[in-house]
Amino acid sequence: MILRCLLAALVLGGCVQSGTSTDDPARQSASWSWALPFYFPTPKVPSDNPMSEAKFQLGRALFYDVRLSGNGQQSCASCHEQGKAFTDGRAVATGSTGEHTPRNAQNLANVAWHSTYTWANPALVTLERQMEVPLFAEHPVEMGVNDQNKATVLARFQADRDYVQRFAEVFPGEPIGFSQIIKAIATFQRGLISASSKYDQYLQGKATLSAAELRGKDLFFGEQAECFHCHGSFNFNDQVVHAGSGLTEALFHNTGLYNIDGKGGFPEPNRGLFELSGVPRDMGMFRAPSLRNVALTAPYMHDGSIATLEEALDFYAAGGREIKTGPHRGDGRLNPFKSDLIVRIQLNEQDKANIVAYLKTLTDEKFINDQRFADPRRSK
């Protein structure tokens, strides 16, 4: 794993080139074209759900439509706001009935390259499968679609002349059903590409970084701060799949956030892979999120329990977190299941400030303001 991360880091951390051209024929078809920098591989797209502009636009409309929820009160965008890099700014998300989910809403930028979805479920390997979770989950309720209201929800779209026409164009001969809705929204999400940050411009020779940002970059990709071990890919995470991928390993990590019983315990129902496997060593194992647009996606961690980038750096520099009072009291630094990559790091205040300065270069203003990704009803 470390060797793979090092290779990725050499590309992103030490190689500045110009140009964005590519000769990969998989990046273009009659109905879709991937406009990507040279260091972005072509995404992997399911063979039964190919990309097309019409499907992307249909998925975009559905993503912002509250009629897709059981009670007609919430859309996908309710928890994934474009201005916050498709997060919601809350510690944990709130479903359509007001019920809180146990976890932080995740950034949707560049989700086309994730090898698994949600915070800790290795079985969810496509956006299509992931979409079933917010749509149909009952504990907790998110969109609130269930057996009692499925027909009502579909009838809303079947009665809309514009949707009827668009579904017929994208899925000829097929009814308007949840399979088609899911494929369209997954296509929209797969097209949410963030590749125009200041750091991307720097990699392409179109921008320069300040002295503080450069020093932060060197710390990030160096062995002192070691951030690159889990965030060294072009997408700044360690779960990446693309069109040319073979069998990939899905990596999850216990970062020492909790240790409520002195035996490595995390608070229920947020115990990572352990919630599915029941295997003790899976306690507290979560997916490392992409750091693209990380300055916009606070609060941080799977439960939103760290408020700022500065606090996040303090957490990692300490090799975990000690909570001294309350129900979650315990020393996460001593968690027996903590990743070997999470150790105490010597960072002074200047080092931390420089790393934060570098992380802010990953903000993509074009991405969060691009009308192509916005609510089509508001951007007309």
Helix (H) or strand (E) holding 8: helix 2-14
> What is the pLDDT at residue 248?
76
- Identify whether 5 is part of a domain: no
Q: Indicate which CATH number applies to the domain containing 202.
A: 1.10.760.10
Q: Which of 171, 194, 217 is the last residue of a domain?
A: 194
- Identify whether 12 is part of a domain: no
Confidence tier at 32 by pLDDT (50, 70, 90): very high
Q: Examine the pLDDT at 18 and tell me if it is beyond 60.
A: no
Average of pLDDT values for 118-125?
95
Q: Which of 194, 218, 248 is the last residue of a domain?
A: 194
Higher pLDDT, 236 or 23: 236
Tokens 């907790």 correspond to 140
Q: Which of 194, 216, 241 is the last residue of a domain?
A: 194
> What is the pLDDT at residue 245?
87
Count structural domains, the chain.
2
The rounded percent of the chain whose pLDDT value lies above 90 is 88
- Identify whether 71 is part of a domain: yes
pLDDT in tens, 326-378: 999 999 999 999 999 999 999 999 999 999 999 999 999 999 999 999 999 98
Confidence tier at 154 by pLDDT (50, 70, 90): very high
> What is the pLDDT at residue 167?
98
Q: Among residues 208, 87, 74, 86, which one has the least CA distance to residue 142?
A: 74
- Cβ atoms 244, 57 nearer than 8 A: no
Quick one: 120 and 249 in the same domain? no
As a whole number of angstroms, the longest Cα–Cα distance in the chain is 63
> What is the pLDDT at residue 4?
42
- Identify whether 332 is part of a domain: yes
Tell me which DSSP letter residue 123 carries.
Answer: T
pLDDT in tens, 263-295: 999 999 999 999 999 999 999 999 999 999 999
> How many Å apart are CA 103 and CA 267, to the nearest integer?
12
- Identify whether 10 is part of a domain: no
Alpha carbon of residue 327 to chain centroid:
29
pLDDT in tens, 295-324: 999 999 999 999 999 999 999 999 999 999
Q: Among residues 322, 316, 259, which one has the least CA distance to residue 288?
A: 316
Quick one: 207 and 340 in the same domain? yes
Average of pLDDT values for 106-112?
97
> What is the pLDDT at residue 378?
85
Q: Examine the pLDDT at 147 and tell me if it is beyond 90.
A: yes
Q: Examine the pLDDT at 116 and tell me if it is beyond 90.
A: yes
CB environment 109-138: b (16+ within 10 A), e (fewer): bbbbbbbbbbbbbbebbbbbbbbeebbbbe
> How many Å apart are CA 380 and CA 377, to the nearest integer?
6
pLDDT in tens, 50-63: 999 999 999 999 99
> How many Å apart are CA 294 and CA 362, to the nearest integer?
7
> What is the pLDDT at residue 29?
78
- Identify whether 368 is part of a domain: no
> How many Å apart are CA 293 and CA 237, to the nearest integer?
12
Quick one: 71 and 85 in the same domain? yes
Alpha carbon of residue 107 to chain centroid:
4
> What is the pLDDT at residue 8?
46
What domain range includes position 226?
198-361
Quick one: 119 and 176 in the same domain? yes
Task: Find the length of the chain.
Answer: 380
Q: Examine the pLDDT at 123 and tell me if it is beyond 50.
A: yes
- Identify whether 26 is part of a domain: no
Alpha carbon of residue 8 to chain centroid:
19
Quick one: 257 and 154 in the same domain? no
* Residues of each annotated binding site: 76, 79-80, 227, 230-231
Quick one: 232 and 108 in the same domain? no
Q: Which two tokens stand for residue 349?
A: 């205040």
Quick one: 76 and 94 in the same domain? yes
Quick one: 210 and 321 in the same domain? yes
> How many Å apart are CA 212 and CA 349, to the nearest integer?
12
Quick one: 132 and 79 in the same domain? yes
Quick one: 185 and 278 in the same domain? no
What are the angstrom distances between the C-alpha of 91 and each of 30, 76, 95, 101?
42, 17, 13, 10
> How many Å apart are CA 222 and CA 220, to the nearest integer?
6
Quick one: 166 and 233 in the same domain? no
| 3-class SS letters over 351-369 | HHHHHHHHHHCCCCHHHHH
- Whole-prediction pTM: 0.92
> How many Å apart are CA 171 and CA 359, to the nearest integer?
41
Average of pLDDT values for 80-93?
97
> How many Å apart are CA 44 and CA 59, to the nearest integer?
18
Average of pLDDT values for 1-17?
44
pLDDT in tens, 210-264: 999 999 999 999 999 989 999 999 999 999 999 998 877 789 999 999 999 999 9
Residue type, 263: K
Confidence tier at 23 by pLDDT (50, 70, 90): low
Helix (H) or strand (E) holding 323: strand 322-323
> What is the pLDDT at residue 366?
97
Quick one: 79 and 58 in the same domain? yes
- Identify whether 19 is part of a domain: no
- Cβ atoms 239, 124 nearer than 8 A: no
Q: Supply the DSSP string of 69-112, one letter for each residue.
A: STTS---GGGT-BGGGTTB-SSSS-B-TTSPBPSSPPPP-TTGG
**For the chain, what is the mean pLDDT?**
92
Q: Examine the pLDDT at 1 and tell me if it is beyond 80.
A: no
Average of pLDDT values for 125-151?
96
> How many Å apart are CA 182 and CA 185, to the nearest integer?
5
* Residues of each annotated binding site for heme c: 76, 79-80, 227, 230-231
